[in-house]
Amino acid sequence: MKPDLKPLSVILLLVGLSVPVDGCPPRCKCDWKTKHVSCTGVELVPLFHLSLQEVWLVRTKLAYIPQNAFASLPNISHIYISDDSALRSLERNSFYNLLRCLPLFIKTLSYIHPEAFKELPNLKYLGITNTGLTSFPVLQYVQSRQEDFILEIVENVFLRVIPANSFTGVSENALTVMLNGNGLTEIQDYAFNGSQLEEVYLHRNMDLEHIAEYAFYGVIHGPTHLDLSETKVHSLPSIGMSSIEILQVRKTWALKALPPFSAFLHLQSAYMTFASHCCGLKMLKRWRREEHFCNQTRAAVTQLQESFTVLGNNLPNHLKNNFQTPTYHRNNPGIWGLDKKAKDEGLFDVDLSSEALGEELDFALCDDLHQDTGPLCTPLPDALNPCEDVMSQGFLRVLVWVVSLLAISANLLVLFILLTSQQKLSVTRFLLGHLAFADGCMGMYLLLIATVDYYTHSNYYHYAISWQTGSGCQMAGILSLFASELSVYTLTAISFQRWHAIFNAMRPDRQMRLRHAAVLMLIGWLLCGTVAFLPVLGVNTYQRVSICLPMDSETVVAQFYIVSVLILNIMAFIVVSLCYLHIYCMVHNPQHDSSRCDTSMAKRMAVLIFTNFLCLAPICFYGLVAVFHQPLMTITDSKVCIFLWIVDPCLLALQYSWINLFAHFSLECDSKLFRKYLLIIFPQIISAIF
Cβ 168 to ligand NAG shortest distance, Å: 5
**Residue nearer to ligand NAG on the CB measure, 70 or 190:** 190
**Residue nearer to ligand NAG on the CB measure, 290 or 670:** 290
| Contact with ligand NAG (CB under 6 A) among 128, 154, 164, 442 | 164
The answer to whether 114 contacts ligand NAG (rule: CB under 6 A) is no
The answer to whether 172 contacts ligand NAG (rule: CB under 6 A) is no
Scanning 22-30, 251-259, 286-294, 488-496 for contacts with ligand NAG by CB under 6 A, the matching segment is: 286-294
Q: Which residues contact 387 (CB under 8 A, 6 or more apart)?
A: 276, 278, 279, 282, 381, 461
Element (DSSP H or E) covering residue 79: strand 78-83
Scanning 120-128, 287-295, 309-317, 372-380 for contacts with ligand NAG by CB under 6 A, the matching segment is: 287-295
**Residue nearer to ligand NAG on the CB measure, 167 or 437:** 167
| Contact with ligand NAG (CB under 6 A) among 165, 297, 594, 684 | 165
Q: How far apart are CA 622 and CA 629, in angstroms?
A: 10
How many residues line the site for ligand NAG (CB under 6 A)?
15
Beta bridge partners of 82: 58, 105
Angle, to 10 degrees, between the axis of helix 427-455 and the axis of helix 394-420?
150
The answer to whether 480 contacts ligand NAG (rule: CB under 6 A) is no
Scanning 190-198, 481-489, 542-550, 656-664 for contacts with ligand NAG by CB under 6 A, the matching segment is: 190-198
Q: Give how far the C-alpha of residue 496 lies from the chain's centroid of Cα atoms, to the nearest Å.
A: 46
CA distances for 394 relative to 103, 399, 495, 540, 688, angstroms: 62, 9, 36, 30, 18
Scanning 77-85, 126-134, 284-292, 343-351 for contacts with ligand NAG by CB under 6 A, the matching segment is: 284-292
**Residue nearer to ligand NAG on the CB measure, 36 or 232:** 36
DSSP designation for 260: P
The answer to whether 687 contacts ligand NAG (rule: CB under 6 A) is no
| Contact with ligand NAG (CB under 6 A) among 51, 459, 530, 595 | 51
Cis before 223? omega within 30: yes
SS3 state of residue 336: coil
The answer to whether 190 contacts ligand NAG (rule: CB under 6 A) is yes
Scanning 175-183, 186-194, 202-210, 580-588 for contacts with ligand NAG by CB under 6 A, the matching segment is: 186-194
The answer to whether 498 contacts ligand NAG (rule: CB under 6 A) is no
Scanning 187-195, 223-231, 451-459, 560-568 for contacts with ligand NAG by CB under 6 A, the matching segment is: 187-195
CA proximity to 450, closest of 411, 488, 487, 476: 476
The answer to whether 194 contacts ligand NAG (rule: CB under 6 A) is yes
Considering only residues 116-145, where is the footprint of ligand NAG by CB under 6 A? none
The answer to whether 224 contacts ligand NAG (rule: CB under 6 A) is no
CA proximity to 619, closest of 671, 543, 568, 676: 568
Q: How far apart are CA 360 and CA 188, in angstroms?
A: 40
Binding string, residues 394-433; x marks residues near ligand NAG by CB under 6 A? ----------------------------------------
The answer to whether 336 contacts ligand NAG (rule: CB under 6 A) is no
Q: Give how far the C-alpha of residue 8 lies from the chain's centroid of Cα atoms, to the nearest Å.
A: 58
| Contact with ligand NAG (CB under 6 A) among 46, 66, 218, 440 | 218
Binding string, residues 59-98; x marks residues near ligand NAG by CB under 6 A? ---------------xx-----------------------
**Residue nearer to ligand NAG on the CB measure, 330 or 457:** 330
Is residue 151 within 8 Å of residue 176, measured between CB atoms? yes
**Residue nearer to ligand NAG on the CB measure, 164 or 681:** 164
**Residue nearer to ligand NAG on the CB measure, 324 or 409:** 324
Cβ 219 to ligand NAG shortest distance, Å: 10
Q: How far apart are CA 140 and CA 672, in angstroms?
A: 92
The answer to whether 237 contacts ligand NAG (rule: CB under 6 A) is no
DSSP annotation string for 537-575 = TTSS-S-SSTT------SSHHHHHHHHHHHHHHHHHHHH
The answer to whether 222 contacts ligand NAG (rule: CB under 6 A) is no
| Contact with ligand NAG (CB under 6 A) among 224, 268, 295, 577 | 295
The answer to whether 168 contacts ligand NAG (rule: CB under 6 A) is yes
Q: How far apart are CA 135 and CA 154, in angstroms?
A: 13
Query: Residue 239: how many CB atoms within 10 A of its CB?
Result: 16
Q: How far apart are CA 493 and CA 485, in angstroms?
A: 12
Q: How far apart are CA 81 and CA 102, in angstroms?
A: 8
Radius of gyration, alpha carbons of the chain: 38
Beta bridge partners of 104: 81, 128
Q: How far apart are CA 245 and CA 255, in angstroms?
A: 19
Q: How far apart are CA 296 and CA 109, in angstroms?
A: 56
**Residue nearer to ligand NAG on the CB measure, 293 or 645:** 293
**Residue nearer to ligand NAG on the CB measure, 168 or 426:** 168
Scanning 155-163, 291-299, 341-349, 635-643 for contacts with ligand NAG by CB under 6 A, the matching segment is: 291-299
| Contact with ligand NAG (CB under 6 A) among 277, 292, 429, 676 | 292
CA distances for 645 relative to 480, 481, 528, 612, 617, angstroms: 12, 12, 17, 10, 8
Q: How far apart are CA 417 and CA 413, in angstroms?
A: 6
The answer to whether 310 contacts ligand NAG (rule: CB under 6 A) is no
Scanning 170-178, 288-296, 411-419, 540-548 for contacts with ligand NAG by CB under 6 A, the matching segment is: 288-296
Cβ 295 to ligand NAG shortest distance, Å: 4
SS3 state of residue 408: helix
Q: How far apart are CA 43 and CA 644, in angstroms?
A: 79
DSSP designation for 333: G
Query: Residue 586: how many CB atoms within 10 A of its CB?
Result: 18
**Residue nearer to ligand NAG on the CB measure, 127 or 237:** 237
Residue nearest to ligand NAG (CB): 194
Cβ 192 to ligand NAG shortest distance, Å: 10
Question: SS3 string of 217-279?
Answer: CCCCECCCEEECCCCCCCCCCCCCCCCCCEEECCCCCCCCCCCCHHHCCCCCEEECCCHHHHH
Q: Phi then psi for 112, rounded to 5 degrees?
A: -125, 120
| Contact with ligand NAG (CB under 6 A) among 291, 598, 637, 670 | 291
The answer to whether 23 contacts ligand NAG (rule: CB under 6 A) is no
The answer to whether 332 contacts ligand NAG (rule: CB under 6 A) is no
Q: How far apart are CA 255 and CA 273, in angstroms?
A: 8
Q: Burial, 311: exposed, middle or buried (Cβ in 10 Å; 0-12, 13-18, 19+)?
A: exposed
Scanning 23-31, 160-168, 343-351, 524-532 for contacts with ligand NAG by CB under 6 A, the matching segment is: 160-168
SS3 state of residue 179: coil
Cβ 78 to ligand NAG shortest distance, Å: 14
**Residue nearer to ligand NAG on the CB measure, 22 or 344:** 22
**Residue nearer to ligand NAG on the CB measure, 124 or 498:** 124
**Residue nearer to ligand NAG on the CB measure, 288 or 429:** 288
Q: Give how far the C-alpha of residue 189 lies from the chain's centroid of Cα atoms, to the nearest Å.
A: 25
The site for ligand NAG (CB under 6 A) is made up of 50-51, 74-75, 164-165, 168, 190, 193-194, 218, 288, 291-292, 295
